[in-house]
Amino acid sequence: MRKLRIVVNNVNHTPNQSHFLLESLVRKCDILFVQEPYYGPIKTITSNSDPAGEVLTGTQVHPAWLLMETRSPARVCAYVNRELAHMRPQLCAHIVDHRDMILISLAVDGETHYYLNVYNDDRSTALAWIRDHVDSLPPLDLVVGDFNLHST
């Protein structure tokens, strides 16, 4: 198996930056881990009750990427390139169920590999959770994120 190409970026809730990353990394990246993803109006959809339509809100999606997020609005998400579908990407919310973290897994040659994306707020909520639950976490192949160490 070739090495995974992983990009990590805090988009600071900016839809233009999210769109740029999703478009520009399609052929250059396997997994995009995002902190502070955009969550807001995406488009207007038809409505049975409102002739003007209803505003669909959420995190941005892209046809080349599988969006993985735990909660709405989440402070982290992951985009897995659809070319990795054969690795059966899974959201592991049954292991890590936290607004500021997302744990995903990929199956490679019969083994499960785990990747953790973290957004650590000014109260160090995520780091405290990791400290308190480290014994229940599977072996992590990669831990990435915005740790906001200037705030701790």
Q: How is the chain classified by DSSP, letter by letter?
A: -PPP-EEEEE-TT-HHHHHHHHHHTTTT-SEEEEES---EEEEEE--SS-TT-EEEEE----TTEEEE-SSSS-SEEEEEEGGGGGG--EE-TTT--BTTEEEEEEEETTEEEEEEEEE--TT-HHHHHHHHHGGGSPPPSEEEEE--GGG-
Structural domain including 143 reads 6-151
CA 41 to chain centre: 18
- pLDDT (tens digit per residue) in 130-144: 999 999 999 999 999
Q: Is residue 132 part of a domain?
A: yes
- The tally of CA atoms less than 13 A away on the side-chain side of residue 94 is 2
> What's residue 72's pLDDT?
73
Q: Is residue 44 part of a domain?
A: yes
Give the pair of three-digit tokens for residue 92.
């592991």
pTM of this prediction? 0.92
The count of domains in the chain is 1
> What's residue 149's pLDDT?
73
Q: Is residue 124 part of a domain?
A: yes
- pLDDT (tens digit per residue) in 10-69: 999 999 999 999 999 999 999 999 999 999 998 899 999 999 999 989 899 999 999 999
The pLDDT mean for the chain works out to 94
The domain that holds 138 is classified in CATH as 3.60.10.10
> What's residue 89's pLDDT?
99
Q: Is residue 74 part of a domain?
A: yes
Q: For residue 151, is pLDDT > 70?
A: no
Q: Is residue 19 part of a domain?
A: yes
Q: Is residue 1 part of a domain?
A: no
